[in-house]
Amino acid sequence: MANLPVISGKECVNALLKLGYRQARQRGSHVRLVCEGLKSVTVPLHDTLDRGTLRSILRAIDLSVEDFVDLLH
């Protein structure tokens, strides 16, 4: 199992956009991403995402850490 990377909220959003998610709205420092047929997810645009928050996002969209790390590169 790969370790979770330390990334910003913006990097997380960019990776999810590669998966086909689109930005539905933004309110303050949180972005709501939606994808047809998949679960929507809210990502905080913090400088550094807590690992628990990132793990929760990945769990919500049923994406493995390894696949997510591949999207970042």
Q: How many CA atoms lie within 13 A of 70 on its CB side?
A: 6
Count CB neighbours of 15 within 10 A.
Answer: 20
Q: Is the pLDDT of residue 73 over 90?
A: no
Query: What's the confidence (pLDDT) of residue 37?
Result: 87
What is the overall mean pLDDT for the chain? 94
Residue spans of the domains in the chain: they are 9-72
pTM of the model: 0.91
CATH superfamily of 9-72: Hypothetical protein. (3.30.920.30)
Rounded to the nearest 10 degrees, what angle do helices 65-72 and 9-18 cross at?
A: 100
Bridge partners, residue 38, by sequence:
35
pLDDT one-digit tens code per residue, 51-61: 999 999 999 99
Q: Is the pLDDT of residue 1 over 70?
A: no
